[in-house]
Structures are given as structure tokens and as C-alpha cells.
Amino acid sequence: MTILKWALIFLVVSIIAGLFGFTGISAASADIARFLFYVFVVIFLVLLILGLTIFRV
């Protein structure tokens, strides 16, 4: 269950990073937010898959 909590935390962080980056606050923060958004989405998906398959006890 801990893995799924971390996956949800990464999802929330990626959504927040996406909102700040895609609204045009500044070009630098938009690029950083896009990068973080994709990184956190990938981490979320990996942890979600692991939480639903391997670490299910």
C-alpha cells in the first residue's frame, strides 16, 4: 500500500508541475515543469504497475 501512496504523491506533484509550466508563467519554469511533469508521470506509472503487480501481498 505504501507504493501506491507514493505513486499518488508523484501524480499530484506532476499535475502541479504541469499547471505551473503550461500556463506561461515564464519560459524557464515552463521547460522545467514539462521535464518534471514527464519524469513524475513515468515514475507514477512505474510505481503504480509495481504496486498492483509485484508488491501486492
Q: Are 33 and 18 in contact (CB under 8 A)?
A: yes
Which pLDDT belongs to residue 54? Answer: 84
CA atoms within 13 A on the CB side of 57: 5
Q: Are 30 and 21 in contact (CB under 8 A)?
A: yes
pLDDT tens per residue across span 1-52:
677 888 888 888 878 877 766 655 566 666 777 888 898 889 889 988 888 8
- pTM of this prediction? 0.50
Which pLDDT belongs to residue 36? Answer: 83
User: ∠ CA 44-56-50 to the nearest 5 degrees?
Assistant: 25
When pLDDT is cut at 50, 70 and 90, the band that residue 57 belongs to is low
Domain of residue 48 covers 3-55
Looking at the 3D structure of the chain, how many domains does it have? Answer: 1
Which pLDDT belongs to residue 8? Answer: 83
